[in-house]
Amino acid sequence: MSTTGSRIAAVIPAKNEEQRIAATVTAVRELPHVATVIVVDDGSTDRTGEYATGAGAIVVRHDRNRGKSAAIESGVNALGVIEQRDGRPEAGIILLLDADLGETAANAAPLIAPVVAGEADLTIGVLPQQTTDDGSPAGGMGIVVNTARRGIAELSGFQARAPLSGQRCLTRRAFELASPLAAGWGVETGMTIDIVRAGLTVTEIDVDLGHRATSNDLAGQLHRARQLADVTRALTARGMISKATDELRNSSAVNNLLQRFRQR
């Protein structure tokens, strides 16, 4: 039996996703228990907000790009305002999904059921191996993933398979306990640690979702450098021990990534 209430609000941070956002919103609106879809247009320079509105989402817009964490917080804050203004029943569950999932967002349902049933406070989607547009494996050397995985284990004891996954379903209470969120791309790492430390239940679930994969070109490396910086900040803020932090600083692979980032 549900202990959280089954009304769900989906919050989707988005930047320059006009090609996929409509399909994502359309699929999310059909998921069980989803009553509201909020897209946070995080400083897009294309028609992301317009297409999201056309697909039936409530759109919150940032005039400039403020990052994923700020976009999620804006979406949940807007939800509270909308509920009070319109007298809507409170959504007891938040579904966080990436904007570029497209039609595959329809496969996010397995994340919802355990939270609605009160069996988990946070579910995290573990995606299949992603590939780039040319069919090559996505990602680089796993530096950011391994850093986040190790930090989460060290600080909370949770052994994460998908520490950076942005596909998450959680109770409103769990979200509040994880707030304020870790900045930028550290949001998922910080959220997992905070919720586990609060004594709540976190479960990872295999989901057949697909999104635009990051390649290993310069743009991809710069993206991972930004991720690494934010993840490291989230871990340090939560008490990551100095020995592990020193090992990160001394890693040649990490230094190469950060050097590329600083040169931009």
Q: Which residues contact 105 (CB under 8 A, 6 or more apart)?
A: 23, 24, 27, 28, 31, 97, 209
Does 192 map to a domain? yes
State the residue range of the domain holding 103.
Answer: 8-215
Does 231 map to a domain? no
What confidence tens digit (pLDDT) does each residue in 109-153 have?
999 999 999 999 999 999 998 666 555 555 555 899 999 999 999
First to last CA, the chain: 52
**Residue of 107, 98, 12 whose CA lies nearest to 56:** 12
What confidence tens digit (pLDDT) does each residue in 26-77 have?
999 999 999 999 999 999 999 999 999 999 999 999 999 999 999 999 999 9
Does 249 map to a domain? no
What confidence tens digit (pLDDT) does each residue in 191-244 have?
999 999 999 999 999 999 997 766 555 466 677 888 999 999 999 999 986 545
Does 130 map to a domain? yes
Does 235 map to a domain? no
Query: What is the domain-level CATH number for residue 16?
Result: 3.90.550.10
Quote the pLDDT of residue 258: 52
| Contact indicator for 92, 5 with CB cutoff of 8 Å | yes
Whole-prediction pTM value? 0.87
Provide the domain count of the chain: 1
Does 116 map to a domain? yes
Does 147 map to a domain? yes
Quote the pLDDT of residue 41: 98
Quote the pLDDT of residue 211: 78
Does 241 map to a domain? no
Q: What b/e readout covers 113-134, taking b as 16+ CB neighbours within 10 angstroms? A: ebbbeeebbbbbbebeeeebee
